[in-house]
Amino acid sequence: MSWFVTAPIWLIGLLLLAALTSAVGLGYEWQKRLQKKLDPGIDPMPAASYLLPAGLALLSLLLGFSFSTAMSRYEVRRDLVVQEANALGTTWLRVQLLDAPERARMRDVLLRYVDTRILWSEAATDSPSEDHAESLRRELWSATGAALRSGNPPLLTRGVMDSLNQSFDLASARQAARLAHIPDSVLWLLLAYAVLLMFMLGTVLGASLRPHRTQTGLLLVLLTLAHMMVLDLNRPRTGTVQVSQQPFTALRASMD
């Protein structure tokens, strides 16, 4: 799995802040030494001072696109939770209308299946609940087939089958959404761009011989926080911003 997903987010933040700070310092020292070799009559402000605002604007744009991508995937995961809970809730209501033998069997399996889905939703890593959920899906499908062959109305059993099949499809969609991440190449390019831009900032500060430590430090902290927010949203399981499972807990409470 990607290092951006498995490594502690605080560690990535510290490493990024250290890299940005070092880049500014290297640029500042390099330009300050270069200034000593220049003719005093030459304008000390390099062309980078005019290119820096454009570079910062482009970095903001890249960060904005990355944040938008991570946020849209968060919204997809949240919508899928609601849709799967609704599909299972519809299945539960339709099961209550089946005849006694099939109704009792499907109620029991459906209760256990919802409990398993809640465990899977709250798990930070792969767990045995995934294999257990797959076995319960086969059991539910078998029970639905038995209800279809019994004396239950065909329209009712077809409704149970449709909503159950929809919930299975949504479970697969949620699994795929959990595995969807921003490509590592994009994240590395974004970090490299930020480091090189901070080196350019250091050269501009070195040309003016004014480090502006407070303002520069705040800029570095803000850039680090922006990158950390993107990386955090890119962690469906371990990030601090997690999709609420309230629709599933509400469904389970209503089933009791």
Asked whether residue 47 carries a pLDDT value surpassing 60, the answer given is no
Report the candidate in 23, 178, 147, 170 with the shortest Cα–Cα distance to residue 88: 170
Give the pLDDT confidence of 97-145 residue by residue, as tens digits: 888 888 888 899 999 999 999 888 887 676 666 778 888 889 888 888 8
State the sign of the Cα–Cα–Cα–Cα dihedral 152, 153, 156, 158: positive
pLDDT at 129: 67
**pLDDT above 80: residue 189:** yes
Q: Is this prediction's pTM over 0.95? A: no
| Mean per-residue pLDDT over the chain, rounded | 86
Angle, alpha carbons 99-102-107 (nearest 5°): 105
In the predicted structure, residue 84 carries a pLDDT above the cut 70: yes
247 neighbors 47 (Cβ within 8 angstroms): no
1-10 contacts: CB < 8 A, separation 24 or more?
Answer: 2/181, 2/184, 3/184, 4/181, 4/184, 4/187, 4/231, 4/234, 5/181, 5/234, 5/235, 5/238, 9/228, 9/231, 9/232, 9/235, 9/239, 9/240
